[in-house]
Amino acid sequence: MLQTATRAGAKTSKKDPPHERYLEAFRWMLQTRIFEEKLTSLYRGGLITGGVYVGRGQEAVSTACGLFLQKGDVFGPLIRDQAGRAAAGEPLLNVTRTYLGSRQGSMRGRDGNIHRGWPETGQLAMISHLGSLISVVVGKLMAKRMKGEKNFIGLTTIGEGGMQTGATHEGMNIASVEKVPLVLVAVNNHFAYSTPNDRQFACAQLVDRAPGYGYEGHEVDGTKLADCLDEIGGAVERARAGGPPQLVVASLLRLAGHGEHDDASYVPAEIKKESWAQDCVPATEKLILEKGWLDAATLKQWRAEISAEVEKAVETAQREAAPVASEEDWCAISTRGMVDAPVLAGE
Amino acid sequence: MSVTYLEAIREAQAHLLREDERVYLYGQDIAGKFGGAFKATKGLAEKFPGRVLNTPISEDAMVGTAIGAAMEGMRPIVEMQFADFSSIALNQILNNAGTQFFRTNIPCPITVRLPSGGTKGSGPFHSQSMEAIYSHYPGLVVVTPATVEDAYTMLIDAVAIDDPVIYCEHKYLYYHLKADALPKDRLPIGKARIVRPGRDLSIVTYSAMVHEALAVAKEFSASGVEIEVVDLRSIKPLDTETVLASVARTGRLLCVGESFPWGGATAEVIARVATEGFHLLDAAPARINARDTPIPYHPNLWVDHRPNAKSIAAKARRILAE
């Protein structure tokens, strides 16, 4: 783990990275990239059933989403938030357990891939219906307030496609009505599965919606780590200080298919030349080396350490037992006396 | 002193707010002096400040926030203004609340109140009965109280259950049904009740149709035919045992439900009796539901759209003649 605490409050010089948690954040980005490449290779090798959904190109934004969360906060990560989930405390082992269907993962083989939660650090398990997590996060924040908890915030993410659902509209509005400390990070990765922006929305900028919901709105280039840390970190700080709900819209290009089954051949070549389409992981690494914030040997060592962590998480999960249908407790509710008996018996 | 079905619902909520600090009420127009479209929460906002909250017209988000709060340890009761509008919240109820425990092992104790069923002149969007849809999906408990006593105890019991409960309250019964006092005893959720014992035919029904069935049973009794009326009380879980025991006594089964005919509670009861108690039947089981059209506005059409004492009696005569 990086020792960044000593940097806090220190006067920034030209020799320092542009954000006090910059290098720590980059390590999460790098871990995510190496880890997700491993998941992809497992999927291509037929070792993962279902699908693999990666956040390639979104590591900077996602890391910033997870990095500023504290104990007692609520996190509602979505499909491309491996980096944020890890930065917010979910171990790699829970990810491999979920992807590989180990009974010991938080979803126990009952749900897979990105549909997983990590309650230990307040991470909710998303459902596939976009926008529906926003109001759930709001409800958690309402309950925390009712119980007298203090100093908590909720952060959840959405894409430019998910921004167009009714649930997102209702969820964003009710957060304002209930005056809860919510940060909504909307990542415009320019393709909702295969559909580009012009068939998703017709307002000039998604951030223009912020004042309509009573939010403070911010835009950020999602490929620039320092900007992501500043904007998302700032939004978290303002929400924690009692400010209105915060909308941060990040612009970037999804550098993978919707899932690893998808070759994304519908993405036109010219869009890849846009400044916001660059790959944030090598771009950040290049800057770190150029500025001398870390040397090549250290980065090499990080890679080796991360690869070892990834291999260990995969190997451990692969050794663990898969769920067995005949041993499964086929029960959808927690109250035994309320189970509809003939249905339970599968008759 | 008498208590109406609606007052029982209000009193149950008052009791819950008094006894359990985790409980809060969440719905459209339920707070302030107004107290809800049907006044089911009248006076509660003043008595319990900060715990009876008006919401925007956002059924999806109303249930979404309740799910979040429930997972955080609260016991929210969501009031849908009309059961019909819960269709907007179907995703949160079925896919989020209904899957939560199975997927995550975290219980999701929300109660969603659905003012259900038809009243004269209410038309297609203020008259629906939704119990079949909610029962079809795993992960939910679905209750349909037919009496003042059940309206009271089943709402209190619903909130105590660690799982999502869909509480279908019938609007026609709000003012029509009165009891002398609030009940002291309770029959647990999941148990059907023999409302009237009989030997010649079992009518298995629930909610407002219990009272139509009782009227038929009374009419038939005058001519020496004894109909047994079974009030299911909860659609899920379904008390198959009590239904089978009743059919064992009478040999004949008629299921009555106010909702649409395709699938649903009546079909499920008949399927279970046919598969598990075929040998008990002396005649083919039958059922009556509403017609397979949207619920019409005009009273002349509406009375004919849903089952009523007349149509139930006609069907009963045919089964008894077999």
pLDDT single digits (tens) A300-316: 999 999 999 999 999 99
Q: Which residues of A touch B236 (CB under 8 A)?
A: 340
Distance from CA of B75 to the nearest CA of A (A): 10
CB contact under 8 Å between B55 and A174, yes or no, is yes
CA separation for the pair A75, A116 (Å, rounded) = 12
pLDDT by residue (tens digit) across B151-203? Answer: 999 999 999 999 999 999 999 999 999 999 999 999 999 999 999 999 999 99
Which of the 8 DSSP states describes residue A118? Answer: B
Cα B59 to Cα A306: distance, rounded to the nearest angstrom: 45
**Interface residue of B59, B88, B96 to substitute, partner A, most A CBs within 10 Å:** B96
Distance, in Å, from the CA atom of B82 to the CA atom of A93, rounded to the nearest integer, reads 46
Structural domain contains residue A329: yes
Q: Averaged over A193-213, what is the pLDDT?
A: 97
A177 touches chain B (CB under 8 A): yes
Q: Choose from B24, B58, B65 for mutation: most chain A CBs within 10 A.
A: B65
Q: Number of CB pairs < 8 Å for A and B?
A: 151
Alpha-carbon distance of A194 to B297, in angstroms, equals 44
Whose tokens are 């707010």? That residue is B17
pLDDT, residue A90, reads 98
**CA B157 to CA B161: how far, in whole Å?**
6
Out of B58, B70, B236, closest to residue A340 by CB: B236
Bridge partners, residue A233, by sequence: none
Over residues A91-102, mean pLDDT: 97
Tell me if B139 and A139 make a contact (CB, 8 A cut-off).
no
List of chain B residues whose C-beta atoms are within 8 Å of the C-beta of residue A138 = 61, 64-65, 68
Q: For residue A115, what is the nearest residue in chain B, using CA coordinates?
A: B103
Q: How far is CA A263 from the centre of its chain?
A: 22
Say if CB A288 and CB A74 are below 8 A apart: no
Q: Which of residues 47-86 of A touch B (CB under 8 A)?
A: 74
What's the confidence (pLDDT) of residue A342?
Answer: 60
Q: Is residue A216 in some structural domain?
A: yes
What is the residue-level pLDDT of chain B in tens, covering all 322 positions?
799 999 999 999 999 999 999 999 999 999 999 999 999 999 999 999 999 999 999 999 999 999 999 999 999 999 999 999 999 999 999 999 999 999 999 999 999 999 999 889 999 999 999 999 999 999 999 999 999 999 999 999 999 999 999 999 999 999 999 999 999 999 999 999 999 999 999 999 999 999 999 999 999 999 999 999 999 999 999 999 999 999 999 999 999 999 999 999 999 999 999 999 999 999 999 999 999 999 999 999 999 999 999 999 999 999 999 8
**Which of B25, B55, B103, B275 to mutate: most A Cβ within 10 Å?**
B103
Nearest Cα neighbor of B69 from B105, B110, B29 is: B110
Q: How far apart are CA A131 and CA A156, in angstroms?
A: 10
d(CA A222, CA A62): 9
Contacts of B68 in chain A (CB under 8 A): 74, 135-143
pLDDT of residue B1: 76
Contact B102 A332 (CB under 8 A): yes
Q: B56-82 pLDDT, tens per residue?
A: 999 999 999 999 999 999 999 999 999
Chain A partners within 8 Å of B99 (Cβ): 127, 332
Active site residue B176: no
Length of chain A, in residues: 347
Give pLDDT, residue A12: 52
Nearest to B190 among A119, A143, A338 (CB): A338
- At A229-246, the pLDDT tens digits run 999 999 999 999 999 999
Query: Has residue A1 been placed in a domain?
Result: no
User: Is the residue at A65 inside a domain?
Assistant: yes
> pLDDT at residue A119 above 60?
yes
With a cut of 50, say whether residue A332 has pLDDT above it. Answer: yes
Residues 6+ apart with CB under 8 A from B121: B297, B298, B299, B302
DSSP class per residue in B81-114: SSGGGGGGGHIIIIIIIHHHHHHHS-----EEEE
Kindly state the helix (H) or strand (E) to which residue A227 belongs, with its residue range.
helix A225-240
Mutate to test the interface with B, among A118, A340, A344, A347 (most CBs of B within 10 A): A340
- Cβ–Cβ below 8 Å for A170 and B139: no
Note whether A167 contacts B61, CB cutoff 8 Å.
yes
Q: How many Cα atoms sit within 13 Å of A187 on the Cβ side? A: 31
A4 in a structural domain: no
Query: Which residue of B lies nearest to A112 if distances are taken between CA atoms?
Result: B103
Q: How far apart are CA B128 and CA B85, in angstroms?
A: 9
Residue B229: its H or E element: strand B227-231
pLDDT of residue A1 exceeding 90: no
Please tell me the distance from the alpha carbon of residue A35 to that of residue A83, in angstroms, as a whole number: 10
Q: How confident is the model at residue A13 (pLDDT cuts 50, 70, 90)?
A: low
Token digits of residue A105: 């993962």
Give B201 to chain A, closest Cα distance, Å.
24
Is residue A214 left, alpha or beta, with left meaning phi > 0 and alpha meaning psi from -120 to 50?
left
pLDDT per position as a tens digit, A30-82:
999 999 999 999 999 999 999 999 999 999 999 999 999 999 999 999 999 99
Asked whether residue A6 is assigned to any structural domain, the reply reads no
Residue B68 has its nearest CB partner, among A107, A137, A331, at: A137
Mean pLDDT within A200-210: 97
What residues of chain A lie within 8 A of the CB of B272, using their CB? 342
Chain B contact present for A158, CB below 8 A: no
- Looking at residue A341, its pLDDT comes to 75
CB B12 within 8 A of CB B151: yes
Total number of domains in chain A: 1
Helix (H, G, I), strand (E, B) or coil at A21: coil
CA quadruple A335, A338, A344, A345: dihedral positive or negative?
A: positive
Residue A285: pLDDT above 60? yes
A328: tokens are 């499964």
Instruction: Answer yes or no: is A283 within a domain.
Output: yes
Q: Please state, in angstroms and rounded to a whole number, the distance separating the CA atoms of residues A33 and A82.
A: 9
From B66's Cα to the closest Cα of chain A, the distance in A is 6
Check pLDDT > 50 for residue A172: yes
CA-closest candidate to residue A73, choices A219, A240, A209, A201:
A240
User: If you count them, how many residues does chain B have?
Assistant: 322
In a 3-state reduction of DSSP, which class is residue B27? strand
pLDDT value of position A7: 41
Residue pLDDT, tens place only, A125-149: 999 999 999 999 999 999 999 999 9
CATH number of the domain where residue A263 is located:
3.40.50.970
CA nearest A72 in B: which residue?
B72
Range of the domain at A215: 12-344
Q: Which residue has the tokens 């976009």?
A: A130
> What domains can you pick out in chain B, each with its CATH number?
3-179 (3.40.50.970), 193-321 (3.40.50.920)
pLDDT band at A288; cut points 50, 70, 90: very high
Backbone angles phi, psi at A46, to 5 degrees: 80, 15
How far is the C-alpha of A32 from the C-alpha of A34, rounded, in Å? Answer: 6
The predicted structure's pLDDT at residue B302: 96
Q: Does residue A5 form part of some domain?
A: no
Give the span between the Cα atoms of A221 and A250, in whole angstroms.
6
Residue A8, pLDDT > 80, answer no
Give the per-residue pLDDT at A144.
Answer: 98
